[in-house]
Structure 1
């Protein structure tokens, strides 16, 4: 797993902190824009910066959900597969894609993603999530 080096590391951390502050102040769109700037700072291949790339994309998607901007969430859920390359694969990426597909009304696609996530996580992917996803998956 690669580590970000100075001065990129400091710039990246400053942007993430700025985004967190914007988020806490209810400026969700600004928070996403700032996280996108942080994404652009990550050198290629971005996925070797496992923790930074995965959590940054996850935070963007989570914020898109707050804004109910599922189209933008889908753009980023497609990118999540090039993040966190050294992370243990627990189905988190597929679960996120399933949630996005579900909210966009792509229910058959959602069910496929939930099935993969369920198998990889041995059912744990639904813990702490909105129960509507598990209800749909079991239907």
Structure 2
């Protein structure tokens, strides 16, 4: 995997950080504008770059906050194709939550299970408890434990 030019990487990182601040402040439109601007700077093919993973994850997070669950799936399926995307527990968490909200229990269960297997119960800590509660209905606790 090649690396981005330092100046370009810095520009993309700065836009992404600005987007994260706006997201945390509840300005979803402003955040998406920053993430889109950073995405536009990535050379083609965009998904070959490490930055593509976190930009797509951030865009998916905005869609999730907007309750645009089909868009979450579209964006995060692309993120999964980026370097290290398939191993990223956050990608699996958000995909699982989006599938859950779309009523696709099988895919939701698969993705939530992968998030749990990669990061443990902690990844669900700041999320609505309904997702972890659903996971508990389909996943057996590890040997020697009573709960997940």
| Residue 41 (str. 1) matches residue 31 (str. 2) | no
1:11 maps to 11
The alignment's TM-score, normalised by the length of structure 2, stands at 0.71
- For the aligned residues, what is the CA RMSD? 2.8
The alignment status of 1:31 with 2:18, answered yes or no, reads no
Q: What is the CA distance between 1:86 and its match in structure 2?
A: 4.6
User: How many residues align structurally?
Assistant: 137
1:103 matched to 2:101 = yes
SS at match of 2:87: coil
Larger Rg: 2
| Residue 82 (structure 1) aligned with residue 88 (structure 2) | no
**2:116 paired residue number:** 118
Structure 1 unmatched runs, 5+: none
1:65 aligns with 2:100: no
Q: Residues 69, 118 of structure 1: CA spacing in aligned structure 2 closer, same or farther, 3 A cutoff? A: same
Q: Point out where structure 2 has 5 or more consecutive residues left out of the alignment.
A: 138-148
| 2:142 paired residue number | none
Deviation at 1:112, TM superposition (A): 1.8
What SS does structure 1 have at the residue aligned with 2:11?
helix
Secondary structure of 2:44's counterpart equals coil
> Structure 2 vs 1, CA of residues 107 and 38 (structure 1 numbering), >3 Å: closer, same or farther?
same
> Deviation string for 1:73-97 (max 9, x for gaps)?
12211111122x1579254332221
Give the 4+ runs in structure 1 shifted more than 6 A: none
